[in-house]
Chains A and B, each alone.
Chain A
Amino acid sequence: MNSSLLAIRTLWIREVVRFYRDRSRVIGAIVPPVVFWFLIGSALGGGSGTAGGSNTYLQSLFPGTILLIVLFTAVFSTISIIEDRREGFLQGVLVAPVPRSTIVLGKIAGGATLAFLQALTFLIIAPFVGVPLAPERMPFVLAELWLSACALTGFGFWIAWRMDSTQGFHAIMNLLLIPMWMLSGSVFPISGAPTWLRWIMTVNPVTYCAAALQHGLAVGTSSGLPSPALSFIVTGLFCIAMVAASTWEVGREGRR
C-alpha cells in the first residue's frame, strides 16, 4: 500500500470510529428521518397513496426515507471538518507529508461509509413494513446507496471546508439540502408537480438518487421517473463532481 492510500485509510477509519463512539450522533442521524417517515407517511398515507399505485404512502416514502438517512448522516459527518479545524486536528494533517487530496478522500470515504451503514440498518426493516427486497435488485440498490452516500458527503465536505462555524453550516444545510430532498420526487412524484417545480426537480441531482432507489425497491409508481440507468449514471456524475469540487476547494492556496 503506498503512503497516500495508507493516509486515506487512516483518516477513513478515524471518521468511522469517532462516529460510533458518539452515540448521540448515531441516533441523531437515524431517528429523525424515521420519525419523519412514520409521521408524514401515516398522516398523508393510508390506503392507496398519493405517490403510488397499490402501495400505501408509508411504503412509497420508504426509499426517500433511506435517502434522507443518507443525507443526514453525510451532513453530520462533514460537520466534523469544522470541528477538526476548530479543535486543531486539521492543522496537524495539513503539515503532514501527504497530498491534500488524501484529506478529501479519507473524509468522504469515512462519511459515506457511515451514511451507507446507517441506511442499511433501516433497509433491513423493509420487509416488515411491506417493502419487499428482491435479491436480484439488491446489487443495484447497494451500489446506488454507496454512490449517493459519496455524492452527498462530498457535497457536505465542499460546503463545510470553507465554513467557520457549525451554526452557519446548519443554516446552509437547511436551506439547501432539505429542499433538495423535498424536491427529489421522494415526497411527491415529479409527474404531479407544476411545470416550474418539475424543472427544478429535473435538474436536482438528488432526484436521480431517489429515482434509482424507487426503481430498486419497486415501490411507488415508476411512471414519470428517469430510467434506472440514467438515474445511476447521474448519481455517479454527481459523486465525481462533488469529489472534484472538494479537492479543488482544499487545494486552493493562501486561504486561512
Chain B
Amino acid sequence: MRDLNGEAIQTRQLRHDYPPSAAGKEPRAALRGVDLDVRRTELFGLLGPNGGGKTTLCRILTTALKPSSGTATVAGCGIAENPAGVRRKIGVVFQHPCLDRKLTVWENLLHQGHLYGLRGAALAERIREMLGRVGLSDRANELIENLSGGLKRRAEIAKSLLHRPEVLILDEPTSGLDPGARQDLWNYLRELQKADSVTILVATHLMEEAEKCDRLAIFDKGEVVALGSPASLKSEIGGDVVSIEAQGPEGIREEIRLKFGVEAMLIGNLLHIEWPQGHTFVPALIEAFPGRITSVTISKPSLEDVFIHRTRHRFWQEGVE
C-alpha cells in the first residue's frame, strides 16, 4: 500500500525570482520564502489573486521550474535531489490543457501511459477504469477537439491519474469551465481523495472553491499570509464584518477610531470594521454619523475578509500577471 507517513509536500524557505523583464530592472520575486506542510491525503488549497505565486509554486513542485533558493520535497522525494522520483509520484493538471486535440481520448491516455512506463493489457485495463471513473467511457474514440470544456477537463484528470500518483497537483483546474462543470470537477476531486488516498494540491483564485478544501494557504505577493482550515481562518476574525459606504470615508474612519476605539480599514471606497456583535454596533454607528452613511452591511466573515484582514488590501486590486 501507499506510504502514508510523513508529509505529502513540504517546502522550506522556497524562493523564486524571475529574471528582470528588461535591462536595468529589478528581478521579479514570485515566491518570497514559502514554508508549507501538506499532509497525506489532504485536499489542500492555494488561494490567492493572480500573480500571488500559486502557479510558480505549482511549477516548482512539478519540477518544471527550479527555485532560486530553498528546498521542497514531494511524496518523500526532493525536487532537486530526485526530480525523476517526484515525477513518477505526481499527477499534474495544468492551468492550460495539455491534451493533444488531434488525437482521441483513448490515444491521449495511451501515450500518457507509455510515458509513464505502462503498456499492453494492463494499460488498456487502467484506461478503461479511469474513463469509467470520470464518465467518459462512451467518448473514448472521440477527438479531444470535439469535446466540451468540462469533458476535456475530465479527460485531463483521467490522464493525470493513470499512473496512480500519490500527489495530484492542479493549477486552476476549473478555469474556463461553467459552474456546473466546476461543481462536477470538485466532486471528482473529493471522491478521489476518499477512494484512492490521493493528496490533492489545488491552486485557485475562487473563494467558493477554496471553501471546499480541508486546509488552505492564502497567498499574496509570493508569501503565505494565512494558513489553516477555512473555518479556523474565518473564526480568527471573530464576530462580524461590517462594511460601510459613506461620504468622506477618510474623515469617518478617523472619527470611528476616536469614538469606538476600532481601526476601520479603507478598502476601495468601503470601510471595513471587524466587530464581535455587528447588530449592536450598527445602530450606534448610524446614530453617530447621521445622514453621512449611505449603506451598511453586516456579514459573517468570508475568506475574502480573511485576506483583507491579513493583507489590508482587496483581493483583486493587485495587477494581473
Q: Which chain A residues have a beta carbon within 8 Å of chain B's beta carbons?
A: 3, 6-7, 9-11, 14, 17-18, 21-22, 87-98, 253-254
Contacts and interface: CB of A to CB of B under 8 A. Distances in A.
B62 A95 contact: yes
B100 A89 contact: yes
B110 A10 contact: yes
Given A7-B115, A10-B110, A94-B64, A88 B97 contact: yes
B interface: dominant SS: loop
Interface centre among A9, A22, A97 (most CB of B within 10 A): A97
Contacts of A6: 114, 117, 119
Contact of A253 (B66, B90, B97, B99): B66
A3 to B, nearest CB: 4
Interface stretch (B101-109, B241-249, B274-282): B101-109
A18 B87 contact: no
Nearest to A102: B115
Interface in B110-135: 110-112, 114-117, 119
Contact of B64 (A10, A11, A88, A95): A95
15 contacts: A3-B117, A6-B117, A10-B110, A10-B111, A18-B100, A87-B100, A87-B101, A88-B97, A88-B98, A89-B100, A91-B64, A91-B98, A95-B92, A253-B66, A254-B66
A98 B100 contact: no
Contact of A7 (B88, B97, B110, B114): B114
Given A95-B62, A97-B84, A22 B102 contact: yes
Which 8 pairs, one residue from A and one from B, show the smallest C-beta to C-beta distance?
A10-B114, A92-B98, A97-B87, A3-B117, A96-B115, A88-B98, A88-B96, A97-B88
Contacts of B87: 95-97
A90 B96 CA distance: 11
Interface in B58-82: 62-64, 66
A91 B94 contact: yes
A88 B159 CA distance: 14
A131 B159 CA distance: 50
The number of chain B residues touching the other chain, given as a range, is 20 to 34
Contacts of A14: 100, 103, 107, 111
Contacts of B63: 95
Given A95-B92, A97-B87, A254-B66, A89 B98 contact: yes
Interface of B: 62-64, 66, 84, 87-88, 90, 92, 94, 96-103, 107, 110-112, 114-117, 119, 159
A interface: dominant SS: helix
Nearest to B102: A18
Given A18-B100, A22-B102, A92-B98, A97 B92 contact: no
Contacts of A97: 84, 87-88, 115-117
Interface centre among B64, B90, B92, B102 (most CB of A within 10 A): B102
Contacts of A18: 100, 102-103
Contacts of B107: 14, 17
Contacts of B159: 92
Contacts of B92: 92, 95
Contacts of A11: 111
A95 B96 contact: no
A17 B110 CA distance: 13
Contact of B114 (A9, A22, A91, A253): A9
A10 B115 contact: yes
A6 B122 CA distance: 15
A14 B108 CA distance: 9
A96 B100 contact: no
A82 to B, nearest CB: 14
A253 B83 CA distance: 13
Interface centre among A9, A22, A96 (most CB of B within 10 A): A96
A93 B64 contact: no
A88 B103 contact: no
A98 B83 CA distance: 11
Contacts of A9: 114
Nearest to B65: A254
Contacts of B96: 88, 91
